[in-house]
Each structure stands twice: as structure tokens, then as C-alpha cells.
Structure 1
Amino acid sequence: MKTVHMLGKEQIEVLDIPEPEPKDDLVVVKIMASGICGTEHTPYYGKSELEINRGHEAAGIVWRTDKAKLVKEGDRVSLYPTMYYFCHKCRPCLSGDWYHCEHPMAHQRFPGTHSQYELIHEDCCLPIPDDIPFDTAAIIDDCLGTPYRGIKKLGVNATDTVLITGVGPIGAAATIISKFFNARVIAVDINNLRLEHLSQYGVEHTINPLKDDVRKKVMEITKNKGVDVAIECSGMEEAQVECLDTVKPLGRVVFLGIKSESTAINVLRHFILKEITVIGSWASRPNEYPEIIEMIQLGLSARSLITHKFKIDDTSAAFKTFFSGKSVKVIINPWDQ
């Protein structure tokens, strides 16, 4: 089968390796669509001593099983992007918070979803209905699920004005989900192409920080009230502070971006005096998949986030396109269809 090896320093190989074998509750999934994620920046640009395939956003068909109990051959599934499976007995698991399982167990996920087949634990195979295309199903968890979980926790609704900083794949997804809930959106990014892409969703305002002062512009738009909700998707310190500065008293903020290691904040000014709610959010939960699927069936324009598709033999070009800033979501097709 074909699989992608990332060698670092923008070098990628497509190799033929033996197909994996199912064993016990590990199943083989035929990958029909695999999305590139921003977290693959490090293995793509860095120097790796190992040949890695970091693909983890995918959908496909359960191809071969051994002793699986949760799925059967032929099932259409979206793959939960984790290297672990879960105990299903601890309090976080029982409440649906798999990511906070107290007893996670590593499994032999191999070789990564930028491949024609992947070996994966059956826990991570979540069913998708026939009317959801594989490319859309591939972006349910990371791209759609990450902002959805944060937006859900903050209770975004039609009375809210929402600031979204950074409109790459996660920020663009946050935009369409906020608009699905009829919120007014102010989108911020230094990339004009990505801001222009949002025009199809009815975004009320866009701001390029290279041209305008974000704080002044937001206050001008909101008549000095500030926004009800701020969704930070870039991970940049300046954007994180802008969210805290421009959210109104009693407002809500969620941090989704993961680039910055530290941020200078003023606890008195940002938190105590304004009495705001600030949360972090990491990925979605399996019990949220049906909610996202229903939103897609009701008209959430998820597929419009996919701006480019590449054959697996053209994976090098796919990564160049993704990190060029001239795309939103890029999909690799392992079967050249």
C-alpha cells in the first residue's frame, strides 16, 4: 500500500509498504480521505530523525477485522484522532470526556492516515451516515469539532457578536459554526485571501491587523461596548491579549490556538474587574459527533472549508499548498479518485 513519510525540512516521500494486519480489537480501515492539520508544521519543516506519518484527520471504510465488537467490515467511519484508547470506567470516560481518561492506553495506530490503509483501535472508529461524504467526515473532529466544542461550552447564540482571531482551518470552522447559530462575526487575520474566503458565509466585518488596529476597530464596530464572545484560534500572544481587551464585561472567551507558550495578562484588568469567563478547549468528544453530523445535515457548510484536494502521489504539493496560506483545508486522496 502507499503511505507518506515526512522526512523534515519540507521533504516528503510516498512509499509502498505492506498492508497492516488486524489483530484483536485493532482493525484495518481503508482511508478514503485524509486532512492535513496545522500541527503537522513541526514534522514538515523540522529535522526529523524518523520517517513519520502524522496524519490523523481521516474517514474511510472498516476493511478488515479480527475480534472487533464495536464495528464490522464495510462500516463507514470517521477516525477519532488520538494515539490512545480509553478505559470507559473512570469518571471522565463515563461523562464522555475521553481526552481526560484517567487510564489511557496506547495502541498500535499505524502508519498514519496519509496512507491507503491504517491500523487503528475500534474505539476510534465512529460511524458516519451514507449522506456524509468522506472528505467532509474527515474534518469532523479536529477542524469542526475543536471550535464546536468551545462554541458549545460558551453557548454562542443569535444575540452575540463574536470576535474570531486567526481564520485558518480552525478559525474558518469557528466562523461557519458561529454563523450557523446566527451570531454576528468579526474575523481577524493577516491573510487577505482567508478573509475574502469568509465573504461567502455572510461575515459582517473583517479586520487585517497589518492595516488596522484591532482594538480600535472592534470598539468602533461595537460602539465601544466590546464583543460578547472572543474565540482565539491563532495561538499568537498579541491576538490572545486582544481577545481579553475587546470582550465586554461579563463576556466569554475561549482559547483554541496552541502556538504561544506564554501570554502577558493583567489579572485585575482582564479578569477581576470585567468578570469575564475564560476557558480553553481541546478537540471534540465522540458524543459530539452526532451533533456535528446533524448540523451538517441541516445546512452547516462544512465542505466549503475544503479548498484543495490532492492525490497521494502529490502529497508534497499538498503540504506546500496548505502551508502557503493560500488554502483553508487540504485533503489527500489515497486512491486518486
Structure 2
Amino acid sequence: MKAVVIEKPGQAAVQSVADPTPKPGEVLLKIRRVGLCGTDLNSFRGKNPMVSYPRVIGHEICATVVEASSGHPHLTTGTNVTVSPYIPCGRCPACLRGRANACQINQTLGVMCDGALAEYFAIDAAKLYTASLGLEELCLVEPLSVGFHAVARGRVAADDAVAIWGCGGVGLGAIAASGFRGAKTIAIDMDDAKLALARKAGATDTINAATEPVHDKLLEITNGRGPDVAIEAIGLPATFRAAVEEVAFTGRVVYIGYAKEQVAYETRLFVQKELDILGSRNAQSADFREVIAMLEAGRFPVDSAISHTISLNETPETLQAWSTNPVAYSKIIVRVS
């Protein structure tokens, strides 16, 4: 079968690889759509420290069941599914606490082990989710679930005001999740097009950090209180600090982004405001189910969120073009079949 392989940094190709052979408990899938995200771009560029080469990429997956597992009668042949791409160890402290999304030695498809940007794939049936959704919608479940998990970590409720720094793929998921829960949702970015998409996804208010005073606008929107929850989805020292500085007293700060360098804080605010400061990694089953419920309710602008749809054979040249001009792309969907 054909698969997209990153052979080494800057070099990807469509190659012939062995067909998968399902193990006991696994389901054979025909891959229909695969989404590409910043993780895939960083892997192509050689900037993802967790990836090794050569590597078949692909962790945002929509597929159709070809051969079902006898222990999962709901997964009949022809059923469309999406996939949780995280493979935990089951033994580390996070796994033993029931938080396998933060597994100490997690293996993510397409990063630490081969992914699903291929014609067929086999995976444990427990990793599959069915839904009454179209193929593109199923492909968006996993990337949106990461933002949904951050909102769950922040315990966002309908009476909260939530400020979200960053309207990229992960930030957009947090915006959609906050809006779906009925919260006042404030999207902050420097790109008007991303802010317009954030409005469609559920933001009640937007702030362009390049042209508007973020601090003043946040106070104006929240009646002088500051946001109850601050979610950082960019990964810059300035926005890491801003989340702590802008959040209300006794508020919650959730970090999804990885800062690219060390962050210097005025730690007095941690104590003075008595903040809950939380990390957020990957997603749990409840997050997948909440995303599916939102998509089934028609509450997300699927067509507007996808910037490019390409074929499997076009993927290597698209990765190169994306690497050269990243601002020209947002969500890329690969039509495999």
C-alpha cells in the first residue's frame, strides 16, 4: 500500500509499505481523510524533538472499518470512525491515576510510532469513536479535542469569562469548547482572519493584540474583573506572563502551548491572586465525546476552518510549500480515499 513517509528533515515521499496485519483486538481500517497540523510541519522541518526518522505521519484520522473485532459488535464493516492517536503505557503515575493523556512515555501516532497517512491502518478497537458526522468532521475531532481538554482542565462553566490567547488549531478548539459551554469567550490574536474564524467558532468577543490594548479591552469586556479563566495556546513568554497578569483573582490559568524559551515570572501574582495554574496535554475520552456532540449539533464552521484539501500524492510537495510559506496554510485535509 501507499503511505507518506518523512525520510529525514525536509524530505518526504509517497512510498510503498507493507499492508497492516491486525493483531487480536485490533480493527483494520481503510483511511479516508487525514488532517495535517503544526506537529507534522515541525516533524518535516526537523524541529520536533520527539520524532525519529523515517516516519509515516498522520494522527488526525477519519477511516472506515474494513474488518471488525469480534469483541466490538458496534464496529461493523463500513462504519466510519475517528481515532484517538495516543498510546499510553498503562503503568506510569499518570496512567495509574486515570489520566493516560499525560502518560509519561506516551506514544503518539505519526510522532513516536508510525501514523495513519496511508491507505490502510490497524489499531486497537478501544481507540475508535463512531459518530453521525461527515468525513471532514470526523477528521477534525482529534485536533479540536486538545482545546476541549484545556477547557475541561479550566473547569469552564456558563457563568465564566474566558480569555484565550491564540486562534490557531488548538486555540480554535478551546474557543469552540468555551463557546459550547455557554461562557463569555474572548479570543485574542494578531490576525483579523483568525479572529473572524474565532467568532464563527464561538467567540463572543475578539481582541487584535496588534492594534488594541489587550489589558484595557479585557477589563472593559469583563466589567473590570478580568477573565475567570485564561488559556494560553501560543507558546510565547509574553503570553505565558499575560495569562497570569490578566486573569482575575482566584482565577484559573491553563497552558497548552510549549514556550520556546524560558519564561520569567512575577511569581507574587501566583500567591496574591491564589491562582490555579494548570497544564493541559492531549485529550481524554470525555473530550472526544464532547467534540462529537458539538459537531453533531452543527456548532463548528467546518468548511471555514479547512484551508486546503489535497490528495495523498500531493502531500510531499504540500509539506514543502507549507514549510516555505506557513502563513498561507491553516488546516490541511488529505483525501486518501
Task: Please report how far the alpha carbon of residue 121 of structure 1 lies from its aligned counterpart in structure 2 after TM superposition.
Answer: 2.8
Task: Please report how far the alpha carbon of residue 95 of structure 1 lies from its aligned counterpart in structure 2 after TM superposition.
Answer: 6.6
Name the counterpart of 1:275. Answer: 274
Name the counterpart of 1:127. Answer: 129
Amino acid at match of 2:194: R
**Residue 79 (str. 1) matches residue 83 (str. 2):** yes
Name the counterpart of 1:325. Answer: 327
User: Whole-Å Cα distance in 2 between the matches of residues 295 and 40 of structure 1?
Assistant: 26
Name the counterpart of 2:302. Answer: 303
Amino acid at match of 1:132: L
Deviations 1:14-40 (A, max 9, x none): 123332222333433211111112222
User: Whole-Å Cα distance in 2 between the matches of residues 14 and 178 of structure 1?
Assistant: 39
Describe the shift of the 1:152–1:194 C-alpha distance in structure 2 as closer, same or farther (beyond 3 A): same
Task: Please report how far the alpha carbon of residue 184 of structure 1 lies from its aligned counterpart in structure 2 after TM superposition.
Answer: 2.2
User: Whole-Å Cα distance in 1 between the matches of residues 55 and 275 of structure 2?
Assistant: 42
Name the counterpart of 1:53. Answer: 56
The number of residue pairs the alignment matches comes to 328
Describe the shift of the 1:61–1:121 C-alpha distance in structure 2 as closer, same or farther (beyond 3 A): same
* 8 Å contact kept, 2:185–2:203: yes
Local SS of the residue matching 1:299: coil
Describe the shift of the 1:30–1:302 C-alpha distance in structure 2 as closer, same or farther (beyond 3 A): farther
Instruction: Judge which range, 244-253 or 193-202, deviates more.
Output: 193-202
Local SS of the residue matching 1:139: helix
Task: Please report how far the alpha carbon of residue 243 of structure 1 lies from its aligned counterpart in structure 2 after TM superposition.
Answer: 0.8
**Residue 113 (str. 1) matches residue 112 (str. 2):** no
Query: Structure 2-normalised TM-score?
Result: 0.84
Local SS of the residue matching 2:61: strand
Local SS of the residue matching 2:250: strand
* 8 Å contact kept, 1:84–1:105: yes
Name the counterpart of 1:290. Answer: 289
Describe the shift of the 1:178–1:113 C-alpha distance in structure 2 as closer, same or farther (beyond 3 A): same
* 8 Å contact kept, 2:34–2:139: yes
* 8 Å contact kept, 1:148–1:174: yes
Task: Please report how far the alpha carbon of residue 314 of structure 1 lies from its aligned counterpart in structure 2 after TM superposition.
Answer: 1.4
* 8 Å contact kept, 1:2–1:334: no
* 8 Å contact kept, 2:235–2:259: yes
Local SS of the residue matching 1:226: coil
Task: Please report how far the alpha carbon of residue 106 of structure 1 lies from its aligned counterpart in structure 2 after TM superposition.
Answer: 10
* 8 Å contact kept, 1:14–1:313: yes
Deviations 1:162-204 (A, max 9, x none): 2111110111121122222222222222333212322434634
* 8 Å contact kept, 1:34–1:138: yes
Task: Please report how far the alpha carbon of residue 226 of structure 1 lies from its aligned counterpart in structure 2 after TM superposition.
Answer: 1.4
User: What is the percentage of aligned positions where both structures have the same residue?
Assistant: 27
Query: Structure 1-normalised TM-score?
Result: 0.84
Name the counterpart of 2:172. Answer: 172
Local SS of the residue matching 2:54: strand
User: Whole-Å Cα distance in 2 between the matches of residues 132 and 264 of structure 1?
Assistant: 44
Describe the shift of the 1:128–1:96 C-alpha distance in structure 2 as closer, same or farther (beyond 3 A): farther
Deviations 1:287-328 (A, max 9, x none): 443333223223321624333221111113543458622443
Amino acid at match of 1:43: S
